[in-house]
Amino acid sequence: MNSKKLTAFAAIIFFFLSSFSIILINVKRDKPKTANKKPNILLIMADDMGYSDIGCYGSEIKTPNLDRLAQKGIRFKEFYNGARCCPTRASLITGLYPHQTGIGHMSNDPEDSTAFNYGTPAYQGYLNKKCVTIAEVLKSSGYETLMSGKWHLGYHGKEKWPLQRGFDKYYGILAGATNYFNPSGARGLTLMDEVAEPTGQNYYTTDAFTDYAIQFIKENRQQNTKPFFMYLSYTSPHWPLNAFKTDIDKYRGKYKMGWNKLRTERFAQMKKMGIIDQNVKLSLQDGADWDKLSDEQKDEMDYRMAIYAAQIDRMDQNIGRVLSELEKSGQLDNTLIMFLSDNGACAEGGNLGMGLKENLGTKKGYALSYGQSWANASNTPFRKFKHWVNEGGISTPLIVSWPKSIAKSLNGKFANQYGFLPDIMATLIDVAGAKYPTTYQGNNIMALEGKSLVPAILGKEQTIHQEPIFWEHEGNSAVRLGNFKLVKEFKNVNTDRWELYDLAKDRSEVNNLATLIPKKVKELSQAYGKWAKMVGVLPYDEVLKFRKNKQKKE
């Protein structure tokens, strides 16, 4: 080959090698934008919603989007929250027991910076620095951390707010509740770290929380290559009863059969769906006698329940909007979605609810509730309500969807293990490949209490909890180990008595076994005592004395 041909051949080789190098450089440069292996995470929480209040858990309320998640994912029959708004949120977001975080009772009120602070670390009323939030942990693992909705973990001082506890963006209410149409004053809106105002004539918190969630998710996709963690914390269906007429009209008149019949119908549907086992009995009715109400009262109670149902319906519509955005952007398959409620249905307001009936169906009112009688139906088939730690107070639906990782053969199935709130943090750390710290910003961090739910989500039969798990709220106490649950209701320190139930046979806590199996009562009560001492539980009679003395001084 002559020199001219060699030169030409070398030029051709150089051209192809240069072009190939450019392609490799471009592939390497573009890879982070298109190949994100870590899943996005969407954690959705409802507020004061009962165990049987959505379609895929036996309800007549229309929730097609949650039902869709359940049919393309997996459901837990036995998952537990913390019986009340603040303790649940504290435990959910830290992976610890609420007392360990500083919220052993509730977080401080907007109106009172010292409320629920009883002078001990376990009862200071806001998150301490010995815990880390999911946002703080996932942020250190390369996630953009987003939140929209209810915070309720500390109000007085911005150092207690979401942006200072690991979130990159936030919109919502810092307090525990507000009027859905007109959030204002101390219970108004916050955008990032600043006061915000409701916009538009048809402002509605459930819609607005969703608007910002979608906006934040879009901005994440457009502005950076990080996976996102979105905590979407609705206030629905927490009182006040506020809903749009178009949503209320779907349910008006459908509840004139009364709460007894509604419980019976839901109970039958739950058994048919496999949500509860055939051996479960319906707990005793715990409300007013429907047949003794006047026609006017029946009409009012139908209206209250219709509004409550409309609030859940609207929440589901909005969850559908988020799912549509993820689907449209091609992110749905690799997004882990979890949905749960913060406590059982709320019985506050007495048997027939609270608030003026004249405010029903309007944009007025703050303290409007549907009452204990309907709450009893919402918690079908269980005993008790929000505040208590019987199954009706702490049982929540848990729906998990993750199309990329959950086998299609598991779609619509149920997990056979039980879990509780701290497991959420452990699970998200697991799927994100994150590391839970021993120290953070110069503070020693308490050891994580939860266990990853990933084996259960992927259909494995291994037991999640081989150790006891515990609850305490307002003196109401419980411990579960295996199928046995020990529980007591606080009445006063001299009359409290432990009750023992075998949940494999008696999930609705009808047959008390305490006198039949005293050794199990002793074993579990001793375990509870050690735990209560470890986390700093105050005897509730001491809490009541503290509050009484505080009120006298004021």
Positions marked catalytic:
85, 152
3-state secondary structure of 242: coil
State whether the Cα torsion 164-168-173-177 is positive or negative. Answer: negative
Which residues have C-beta within 8 Å of that of residue 194, sequence separation ≥ 6? none
Structure tokens at 75: 């459901």
3-state secondary structure of 193: coil
CB 231 within 8 A of CB 43: yes
Q: Cα separations (Å) of 196 from 72, 159, 162, 239, 255?
A: 37, 18, 15, 22, 37
How far apart (Å, rounded) are the C-alpha atoms in residues 75 and 474? Answer: 30
How would you label 526-554 residue by residue, b for 16+ Cβ within 10 Å and e otherwise?
ebbeebbeebebbebeebbebeeeeeeee
How far apart (Å, rounded) are the C-alpha atoms in residues 209 and 151? Answer: 12
Specify the DSSP element, H or E, that contains 313: helix 295-328
Q: Characterize the bridge pairing of strands 335-341 and 413-415.
A: unpaired
In sequence order, what are the beta bridge partners of 75?
Answer: 399, 414
Q: Characterize the bridge pairing of strands 144-150 and 228-233.
A: parallel
CB 156 within 8 A of CB 113: yes
3-state secondary structure of 320: helix
How far apart (Å, rounded) are the C-alpha atoms in residues 470 and 476? Answer: 11
Concatenated DSSP letters of 56-72 = GGT-SS--HHHHHHHHT
How far apart (Å, rounded) are the C-alpha atoms in residues 396 and 83? Answer: 10
